[in-house]
Amino acid sequence: MVSSKNNWKAWLYLAPAIVLLLVFTVWPIINTVRMAFLNDYSGLEEVGGAVFNFGIGNFIKVVQYQRFLDCLKTTSILCIATVPISTVLALLIAVALNSIKVLQKFLQTVFFLPYVTNSIAIGMVFAAMFNIVGSFLGTENELIATAGIINNIIEFFGGTHVNWINVGSTYWANIFVMVVYIVWNALPFKILILLGGLQSINKQYYDAAKVDGTSKGRILRKITVPLLSPMLAYVVITGFIGGFKEYTSIIGIFGETMGPADASGRLNTMVGFIYDALASNKQGRASAAALILFGIILVVTLINLQVSKKKVHY
């Protein structure tokens, strides 16, 4: 036990961390709650001497905004679509990677590359790939528009090109592009975690299964997935948390308009809504939306934990 004489030393050593946490984590949390419960709070007006009443007016306003509900809808769709797809894909890739010997390290690196690549840059590449006017050839006077590589591939196989992200594209086409992009972006981290989990599974379980003549599919379903369930639960929970905070990926593909030029803001997400509110000096509204987002993530995580309690085996 540290003697009381030395207590001040302990506090001294902890001080830098404590000060930083207080300033950048604890105070903002408290302040967010305060702002959320002051009707129509605005920082700028408060400096000007305005007084705000305590109440839940911000929350009522936020949930009545059609824009907020649209953001909630887009975020939820992206979340519900991407988390299962990316988890299943990551599982299959991890299992495949784990079962090969040649090139394993090389492929592992390849699959990990997206993780260390700037997501805005990736977004721009994806935007180019899904573009309907991908690249321009010819001279200044004679522009020949070609489709992006995805449309080229579709046309190569005899399909008609799709307007994925340009002016006139549909909401669901936009969502499709976002899902592909988010899944691709989410894979490396999940593969890394699942591969680590796979490599820590005792090989004897597989030997035992082999002696009993278990088919590959059954090994995956009955042995690998259950034994990997703690990692799967982790990946799903962090996936949902990350999914509800989706924002940069939209910017990456659509830019700050958060949608095609003729439907700007169509793909806005919850975090985008909060950001916009802050930018227009409506901190009360932003705080209320942030708390709602926090509540949603909390509930989803609790549900996840509850489910995994039944499904995670040890």
Partner 1 sequence: MKVQLQNITKIFPSRNKKSKEMVTAVNDFTFTVPDGKLIGLLGPSGCGKSTTLYMISGLEKPTSGQIFFGEDDVTELPPEKRGIGLVFQNYALYPHMTVRQNILFPLQNLKGEDKLTKDQMLDRVDEVAKLVQLEQYLDRKPNQMSGGQQQRVAIARALVKMPRVLLLDEPLSNLDARLRLQTREEIRRIQRETGITTIFVTHDQEEAMSISDMIVVMKLGIIQQVGEPQEVYDNPVNLFVSKFLGTPPINVFNGRISGGKLYIGEEEIAPAEGKKDMEVYVGIRPEGFIVDPNGKLTCNLESREVMGRDVSIVSNHPESANPIVRSIVDSESVFDMDAKTIKYNIKKSKMFVFNKETEERVFFEGDKLPYHLTQYLEEIKSETPKTEEKQAEENVQEDNA
Query: Which residues of the shown chain bind partner 1 in the complex (CB under 8 A)?
Result: 202, 204-205, 207-215, 218, 222-223, 226-227, 229, 313-314
Of the pair 231, 274, the CB lying nearest partner 1 is at: 231
Q: Which amino acid is at 186?
A: A
CB of 222 to partner 1, least distance (A): 7
Torsion region of 265: left, alpha or beta (phi above 0 gives left; psi -120 to 50 gives alpha): left
Of the pair 32, 229, the CB lying nearest partner 1 is at: 229
CB of 308 to partner 1, least distance (A): 13
Q: Give the number of other Cβ atoms within 10 Å of residue 281's Cβ.
A: 14
CB of 201 to partner 1, least distance (A): 10
Of the pair 138, 217, the CB lying nearest partner 1 is at: 217
Alpha-carbon distances, residue 166 vs 100, 136, 171, 264, 273 (angstroms):
41, 15, 11, 11, 22
Q: Is 98 exposed, middle or buried (0-12, 13-18, 19+ CB in 10 A)?
A: middle
CB of 215 to partner 1, least distance (A): 7
- Cα gap 62→217, rounded to integer Å: 48
Of the pair 225, 263, the CB lying nearest partner 1 is at: 225
Determine the 3-state secondary structure of 45 from DSSP: helix
CB of 210 to partner 1, least distance (A): 6
Opening angle at CA 145, ends 139 and 147, nearest 5: 145
- Cα gap 80→114, rounded to integer Å: 22
Of the pair 157, 314, the CB lying nearest partner 1 is at: 314
CB of 42 to partner 1, least distance (A): 54
**Two tokens at 186?**
């989410």
Of the pair 5, 203, the CB lying nearest partner 1 is at: 203
